[in-house]
Amino acid sequence: MADSPGLYHKTFLLLLAAVSIAFFWILLPFYGAVFWGAVLAIIFAPLQRRLTAGLRGRNNVAALLTLLLVLVLVILPLTIITASLINQGASLYDSIRSGQLNFGVYFQRAVDALPPYVRTLLAKVDLTSIADLQEKLSASALQASQFVATRALSIGQNTAQFVISFGIMLYLLFFLLRDGPRLSRKIRTAVPLSDLYKQHLIQKFTTVVRATVKGNVAVALVQGTLGGGIFAVLGIQGALLWGVIMAFLSLLPAVGAGLIWAPVAVYFLLTGSTVTGLVLIGFGVLVIGMVDNVLRPILVGKDTQMPDYVVLISTLGGMALFGLNGFVIGPLIAALFIACWDLHAHGIDENGDIGSNGPTA
């Protein structure tokens, strides 16, 4: 029987899919290290190119210098913050366990400060059973603080895995910085799409990664610093811990840091600390909230060209599926989804521009 080129081609495609799946399966235990190595390589690629040009094409030296800058600008500050967070988390846990901090008592004070008709309404839905609520709130706060402390300490408990993953990330980052342009050309050659489509999608990919990481991290740092700072000024215990939590929550557009400072401000108002509560509300709305309303659209929305609601939903979904990595993966998938459907609907003309009825996002 004559050989069938079509059969050979289908068999090869099946083999290609199988070995690709197997390769990604092998990488899965260290996908976080691989992912962040690639993300950092994309973010610092412009710096790598400038250093390479300044060093007259010495890629190895330029990649090493870029890697050292990443360690100084990114890794070292994160290590210092993590160490401080572990100390404050453990201290807060000890305070709750010893009874020095009792969230049930705080709840009692807030309920006592409510108008009588509000307390009556709460009583009808069994929300004024103080003994039970005190026990539940204290237990929940204890579990939450214990979770924060244990999760922070898990790095120390799993030192070997952390060191291996960290080493893989740095090792991969060096080679991605050094060989990035060559690898990019190989990927473009291998992907079975037209050059214009590949150029558009790769540009969208790199733009979204850089905008999402740099924009969200900048907003998180500013909001976390401002939130922790105002907590410290007002004398709230664990200001650094709450500031870090606000920084993480600020990855969620619109709602973010307000999930922390707003309930605290309400508590101050209900318990008679009116000036403190109003100061916290004013600072939260006019300063912390303004950072989200001003910086995020400039740093994230402008480059990704996605509506705020798409960014919010994709961020939430990404973090639900992929954990912290999802704040990049979610918007990235959403942006590529929009870009692919725009290409399908409108196409790209011979000049490389999307059709006249092309995408707006």
Degrees (nearest 5) of the Cα angle 327, 333, 337?
145
Sequence-ordered list of residues with C-beta below 8 angstroms from that of 256, at least 6 positions apart, any chain? 223, 246, 249, 250, 292
SS3 state of residue 348: strand
pLDDT of residue 1: 46
Sequence-ordered list of residues with C-beta below 8 angstroms from that of 67, at least 6 positions apart, any chain? 170, 173, 174, 177
Per-residue pLDDT reduced to its tens digit, 34-93: 888 988 898 888 888 898 888 887 888 888 999 998 888 877 777 777 776 667 666 666
- What is the value of pTM for the model shown? 0.68
> Are 95 and 236 in contact, with CB atoms under 8 Å apart?
no
Alpha helices in the chain (DSSP H): 5-27, 31-54, 59-70, 76-98, 103-112, 116-124, 130-157, 159-190, 195-233, 239-249, 258-270, 274-283, 289-296, 302-304, 308-322, 326-346
pLDDT of residue 22: 92
Cα 293 to the center of its chain, rounded Å: 18
> Are 174 and 39 in contact, with CB atoms under 8 Å apart?
no
Q: Which residue has the tokens 């400039």?
A: 298
pLDDT of residue 71: 87
Structure tokens at 210: 């850089």
pLDDT of residue 149: 53
3-state secondary structure 29-59: HHHHHHHHHHHHHHHHHHHHHHHHHHCCCCH
Cα 221 to the center of its chain, rounded Å: 11
pLDDT of residue 148: 52
Question: How much is the CA Rg of the chain, to the nearest whole Å?
Answer: 26
> Are 127 and 133 in contact, with CB atoms under 8 Å apart?
yes
Structure tokens at 64: 């090493």
- One-character DSSP codes across 133-202: HHHHHHHHHHHHHHHHHHHHHHHHHTHHHHHHHHHHHHHHHHHHHHHHHHHHHHHHHHS-S-HHHHHHHH
Q: Would you give the DSSP letter of residue 100?
A: S
pLDDT of residue 144: 56
pLDDT of residue 137: 52
Quote the CA–CA distance of 144 and 142 in Å, as a whole number: 5
CA count, 13 A, side-chain hemisphere, 162: 10
pLDDT of residue 60: 87
pLDDT of residue 345: 77
Question: Which regions in the chain score pLDDT beneath 50?
Answer: 1-2, 130, 155, 350-352, 356-361
pLDDT of residue 80: 74
Please name which of 234, 282, 279, 241 lies closest in space to residue 260, comparing C-alpha atoms. Answer: 241
Q: Which residue has the tokens 């199988």?
A: 18
